[in-house]
Chain A
Amino acid sequence: MRVFKILALFMAIALLLISSPDFISAQDEDAEYDDAAYEALLEKGKEYYNARCEACHGADGDGKGFVDIIRVSEKNGRVLEIYPRDFTVGVYKFRSTATGCLPDDKDLMGTVKRGITKSLMPPQDNISSEETEAVVEYVKSFSERYEEEDPCDQISVADPPVWVASEKSIEKGKKIYKDMKCWECHGDLGKGDGPKSNDITDDWGKRLLPFNFVTGELKRGSTAENVYMTFTAGLDGTGMPSYQDTLNEEDRWHLVSYTLKLMGLTESDKKTASH
């Protein structure tokens, strides 16, 4: 009789758990369904990757594809040596998350669609949003980091204040550029030729030259917001550090003003250019 009571109790608990929605969502059947959908997505991603990415990034995602090094000459004669990214370590430069964090999926999807034209990684103009998601999932699957960590919150960027690129703001930004020692790497005039510019290696042990502002072309895309995000979040895996804890919001935009000036992208620059 007692045995029966205990069993009845068990049964009651089991039924209760089964009928609670939480439990149902954790059921194996559901998980299998998710797994199957994920596998299908990966399969699709792999197909796209093998057709469009493998030549540079390699079949195993270790950056050892057929194209193992890319050389880009700048106008002033400087030659950049750029290596297709090794995805196995799970480190990304173009993030909207704090230094040391995984990027947001949107960051990766943006990079894939836009390409990194300065590094000769081609844009994917006709990629569908499903293909983008699939190829990004596939790229992520090369690194075990994604099993251990979740991406951090995104750093939000407001619209640039109206005074960005004004004379006054450029003047303030010039001082910040000096005080923050951007010039030590990027040079007094932003030509990427500061006293430290020849000493920098990336996390893969390869020499890496600081950005030359005079070219006006960021790897990430030349917008005010992208400059802001570059020095706020830092470019992980490179020598370019994060100033998130060092600069306040207002100073960040003044600094952006000055860099726009260096890049010849302010309104007055554009006017003189068209004259």
Chain B
Amino acid sequence: MKKLVFLALVLSLFIVDTSDARKKKKKYEVIDVTNGGSITGTIKAASKVDDPVMKIETKKPDEVEFCGTEFQSNMYIISPDLGVKNVVVALLKVKQGKAMPEKDYVINNLKCQFEPLVGLAFKGNNFVIKNSDALFHNTNLGIQLKGGKKRAVYNLALPNLNQVLKKKIKTKGVHSIKCDAHPWMRAYVYSSDSPYAALTDDSGKFEITDIPAGTYKVLIWHEGFGEVKQEITVEAGQATTLDHTFSK
């Protein structure tokens, strides 16, 4: 009998082991977050940075008139007290927490620019890609990988005025968007696999709420300043401050 009992124990251990060995990647799990913590802060620049003006060069005469010849890049939108707009602040590898926002992400091709320039998308929703110009655009969206490399996610032709395409948001991370027909067009979208991501406002402020207590890795990303990653501990019911100053 003892032998059998021993066998049963060994077998049950074995079962637990094999399920672990299957190495299934854990998906984000929605739980009730009661008494969650929050992260608030301001992202600043060490000093004022000039926002470059970008040139438009095209060989199509009708585009010269419609698109213009130059534009304010809006890469560095910095408030008088040095707060930086359009910085992505996102928690990485979050296992569980509040529900994902249900919100599609609109990418509009408008007057030879993408609108918006920087934004947050949440996995599982859709990209809604729109051509508001009577011109050919293509929306070439890819993940930015290590070492300045890029991996195509969608490259879609939009030859028609008011054409709208809907595509699943299936990848995560910082994505850049370009139009091959208009090389000056650019945009960025951060696709998050958790609801815990924010974009700084005009004064460089952001807030992320209802976070289960714990220690997290945070990504702070900006088109011009680049990115930093750091750790942060969130306590139940408390607001944790996360400030960062970028320098060029």
Contacts and interface: CB of A to CB of B under 8 A. Distances in A.
A190 B5 CA distance: 78
B155 A234 contact: yes
Given A88-B149, A246-B163, A241 B180 contact: yes
Contact of B180 (A180, A199, A204): A199
B156 A27 contact: no
Given A28-B21, A199-B183, A241-B140, A11 B8 contact: yes
Interface in B183-237: 183
A238 B154 CA distance: 11
A125 interface: no
Interface string A202-228: 011100000000000000000000000
Provide the main secondary structure of the chain B interface: mixed
Contacts of B136: 181, 184
Q: How large is the interface on A (under 10, 10 to 19, 20 to 34, 35 or more residues)?
A: 35 or more
Contacts of B158: 246
B152 A91 contact: yes
Interface residues of B, number: 40
Contacts of B138: 239, 241
A230 to B, nearest CB: 12
Contacts of B157: 180-181, 234, 241-243, 246
Interface string A1-45: 000100110110111011000010011100100000000000000
A122 interface: no
A184 B63 CA distance: 12
Interface string B152-168: 11111111100101000
Contacts of B153: 100
B26 interface: no
A137 interface: no
B131 to A, nearest CB: 11
Contacts of B154: 99-100, 242
Given A7-B9, A243-B159, A246-B158, 12 more contacts: A11-B11, A14-B12, A27-B18, A99-B155, A100-B153, A181-B157, A195-B58, A195-B59, A196-B180, A199-B180, A203-B142, A243-B157
Interface of B: 4-5, 7-9, 11-12, 14-15, 17-18, 21-22, 58-60, 136, 138, 140, 142, 145, 148-160, 163, 165, 180-183
